[in-house]
Structure formats: C-alpha cells, structure tokens
C-alpha cells in the first residue's frame, strides 16, 4: 500500500474526490469551495486547497509536506521564480516526481 490506509488509497483514486496527493511535494491536499472549469487546462479547479497534516480516516500523522523545500530548490538550483507553463519545462523530470526527495532520504 502506497498511502497510510485503504480508505486514503480509495479516496485518492475516487473521481471527484476532494483529496489529492501531489508526489513531487509529498502533499496531501483537500480542495473545496466553488468548483469551476479552468479554461486553459479544461480541468476542474477549486478555490481552496488546504494541506492535510493527519489522515481523516486512520488519524495517522502524514509525512512532512515538502512543498517549501521543493520551491527553495527550484528557485535556488534552477533559478526559476515564476512557475508558468514555460518555466515549468526547465524543471528536471526527477523534481516533478517523488524521485528527488526519495534520493535525499527526506
């Protein structure tokens, strides 16, 4: 099992679930608020994205969210300060997956 419990696994796979897992930042987020269609991506977008610290089902403390560390690396190492469509292409593949933090043993 990749996540803490079977209920979390299920919620992350469920279509339309407000929960999502972001591999590159190891963040478990809950999205809520008014859902609208993003014109650029054609995907649904929510207004509020709240990172979760604990699993809502089994209560386990979730692993540390690495978003801030990720931003520091992206800005410091790759000199990218605006993550727009063009800049994001400069980010090496391993930084868009779990690979970078696994390599660092975080």
Residues within the interface to Zn ion (CB under 5 A): 4-5, 8, 55, 57-58
Angle at CA 36, nearest 5°, toward 87 and 17?
90
Closer residue to Zn ion (CB): 9 or 69: 9
Q: What are phi and psi of 74, to 5 degrees?
A: -60, -40
Q: How far is the CB of 65 from Zn ion (least distance, A)?
A: 16
87 close to 31: Cβ distance less than 8 angstroms: no
Q: How far is the CB of 45 from Zn ion (least distance, A)?
A: 26
Residue 88's Cβ-side half-sphere holds a number of Cα atoms within 13 Å equal to 5
Closer residue to Zn ion (CB): 36 or 57: 57
Q: How far is the CB of 49 from Zn ion (least distance, A)?
A: 20
């Amino acid at each position: 099992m990749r996540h803490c419990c079977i209920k979390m696994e299920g919620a992350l796979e469920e279509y339309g679930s407000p929960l999502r897992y972001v591999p590159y930042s190891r963040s478990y987020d809950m999205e809520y608020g008014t859902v609208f269609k993003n014109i650029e991506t054609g995907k649904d977008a929510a207004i509020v994205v709240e990172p979760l610290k604990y699993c809502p089902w089994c209560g386990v403390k979730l692993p540390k969210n690495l978003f801030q560390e990720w931003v520091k690396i992206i800005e410091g190492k790759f000199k990218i300060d605006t993550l727009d469509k063009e800049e994001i292409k400069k980010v090496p593949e391993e930084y868009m997956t779990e690979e970078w933090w696994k390599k660092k043993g975080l």
